[in-house]
Amino acid sequence: MTATIIPIGEEAAGWERALYAFLAEKERRSGSRRTVEGYSRTLQHFFGVVGKPPDRITGQEVFTWAYGRGLSGKEPSAITIGSRLACLSSFYRFLIRMEIVSANPCDQIERPKASPSPPRGISAEGIRKLLSVIPKTPAGLRDKAIVLTLVLTGRRRAEVFNLKVGDLIRTDGLFYTYRGKGGKQGKRELPLPAFEAIKEALAAFGKNLDEMKPEDSLWSSPGRNGPGITSGTFYGNLQRYLRKAGLPPAGVHIFRHSAAKLRRDVGESIEDVSRFLDHSSLAVTTVYLRRLEGQEDRAWGKVAEAIGV
């Protein structure tokens, strides 16, 4: 992220610093580098096209850009327009909070109504097919453990791939701690099938949880003693598994959708699934986290049975 977003005047350096401060905060809160890179590209494109600093942008200029054709020459979809406005508006809210500007030009723009997308997520049968094609090699056992952890815990990609040995708590039950979206700390029960799969995968790499360092990754990889496998490497492996299982291509986030779908399929209420996924307003989520902190997860057994583990 080294491009200049305001290519005119001596104010450019100051606005660039504001942009980088915004992106740094966004990365700290989201924990996702890819999200930050997406925000950076969108903001740099907007200010590069308009050619004005943030305090001189009008609502009309925002409207023209948000609803305008992109590089493909096609009319943007409602989702694309909404995504553009959400990104730009988030930056302006940051600038207002920092008392750099006093108004958000995005507030003048009406958001388009997007048609609800069809439910996403892999069915229980699809998960069983996927697990069946993963090889029983050390790398395959590790990938299976990752899939089971994603499906049974419903955690986000970064939350799972950042798990270390020291995040496991094996006293008075089996739990794991994680750093969630917005920097929130959480503690949840680790479903037994995921834990057993993790131990089996580590054993295949010649490792034992009791002998590993707290900072070691749970996801071993040849030649990477501490950090473990990257999400990018797992993504490539996942595409091969999906093709072999006859399932459509999907990103790692599909397992979070799958976790929600499977819990609804086994009878969990929408409210229960919302709490399980940490979905809610900040105030309500805080209450839910206090209720869930360290408590038994009674639904994973039904989901595990449904996917055959």
* 263-283: burial string, b at 16+ Cβ within 10 Å, e else: beebebeeeebbbbbbeeeee
> Helix (H, G, I), strand (E, B), or coil: what is residue 292?
helix
Which pLDDT score, from 0 to 100, does residue 180 have? Answer: 76
**Alpha-carbon distances of 137 from 199, 270, 308, rounded to whole Å:** 14, 38, 20
Query: Would you say 39 and 90 are in contact if contact means Cβ atoms under 8 Å apart?
Result: yes
* 32-53: burial string, b at 16+ Cβ within 10 Å, e else: beebbeebbebbbbbbeebeeb
Query: Would you say 257 and 154 are in contact if contact means Cβ atoms under 8 Å apart?
Result: no
CATH number corresponding to 124-306: 1.10.443.10
Residues of the chain with pLDDT under 50: 1-9, 281-293
Q: What is the pLDDT of residues 236-276, one digit of tens each?
A: 999 999 999 999 999 998 998 888 888 888 887 777 777 78
Superfamily of domain 12-108, CATH level 4: Tyrosine recombinase, N-terminal domain (1.10.150.130)
User: Using CA atoms, how far apart are residues 286 and 141, in angstroms rounded to an integer?
Assistant: 35
Delimit the domains of the chain by residue range: 12-108, 124-306
User: Using CA atoms, how far apart are residues 252 and 119, in angstroms rounded to an integer?
Assistant: 16
> Helix (H, G, I), strand (E, B), or coil: what is residue 164?
strand
Query: Would you say 142 and 229 are in contact if contact means Cβ atoms under 8 Å apart?
Result: yes
Query: Would you say 297 and 189 are in contact if contact means Cβ atoms under 8 Å apart?
Result: yes
Q: What is the DSSP string of 73-123?
A: -SPPPHHHHHHHHHHHHHHHHHHHHTTS-S--GGGGSPPPPPPPPPP----
Residues for the chain: how many in total?
Answer: 309
Q: What is the pLDDT of residues 3-46, one digit of tens each?
A: 444 444 455 678 888 999 999 988 887 767 778 888 999 999 99
